[in-house]
Amino acid sequence: MFPLNSKILIVDEMKGIRIWLQKSLNILGYTDLKEASNGEEALELLKQEKFDLVFLDIVMPKMDGIALLKKLKADGHFNSLPIIILSAETDGQLITEVIGLGISQYIIKPATIPVLQKKMGDVFLAKKA
C-alpha cells in the first residue's frame, strides 16, 4: 500500500466527488491531498509539486482526462506517475482506449472505500514489481 505520507492529486470536475474522495482517502489515513477541477489545473499542479498518485476523472471542461493523460504519458517527467481513473464512463471502447494509454487502474463511480483501498494496493504492488 502507498505510505500514508504519499501525496495524492484528485482531479474531478465535480466538487462533491472531490470532497467525497478526500474524505474517503482521509479515512484510509492519507492527508496530503491536493485537488484540481480540470486537466489544465492538474497539469499546473503537477509541474509545481511532486505527486505519488493521481485520481483522474475523464469528462472535464477545458482539458479532459484523456487529453491530460496523453500529455503526461508523452512527458518523461510524468510517464511513470501512477494514475487511477475514477469515472462514471462505462463505455467499453472508451475504457479500452484509456487503458491503452497506460493508466494504472480504472474504477467506475461510485466506488467504495474497500475498492479504492484494493486498487491503490494493486497499483503500489505493480509499481514496486
Partner 1 sequence: MSTPQEFSFYGKQIVPADLETVLTSLRPGEECVISFTDVNIRTQDFESLRQIFQKIVKVASRLVLIADPEFEVLGQGIESSRLHFVNKPGFSVSNVRGTDFDTMFVSLIESFWAHYFPNIQRVAKADAPVFMAQAAVTLIRTKKNYWIVLRMNKAGLELAADKILQFTDDGGTVYPPGDMVAEVLNILCGLLKPLLRLRKFEVQIEVGIPVELPRQGDPQEGPNVYHWSFEISPNAYFEIALNEEVNHVST
List of residues contacting partner 1 (CB under 8 A): 14-17, 19-20, 23-24, 27, 58-59, 87-93, 95-97, 99-100, 106-115, 118-119
To partner 1, the closest distance from the beta carbon of 27 in angstroms equals 6
Q: Give bridge partners of residue 40 from the DSSP assignment.
A: none
To partner 1, the closest distance from the beta carbon of 17 in angstroms equals 6
To partner 1, the closest distance from the beta carbon of 107 in angstroms equals 5
Closer Cβ to partner 1, 52 or 89, answer by number:
89
DSSP single-letter state for residue 35: E
- Look at residues 44, 56, 125 and name the one whose alpha carbon lies nearest to residue 87: 56
Would you put residue 62 in left (φ > 0), alpha (ψ -120 to 50) or beta?
left
- Look at residues 15, 16, 29, 6 and name the one whose alpha carbon lies nearest to residue 84: 6
Mapping DSSP to helix (H, G, I), strand (E, B) and coil, where does residue 4 land? coil
Closer Cβ to partner 1, 13 or 41, answer by number:
13
Closer Cβ to partner 1, 3 or 92, answer by number:
92
To partner 1, the closest distance from the beta carbon of 87 in angstroms equals 7
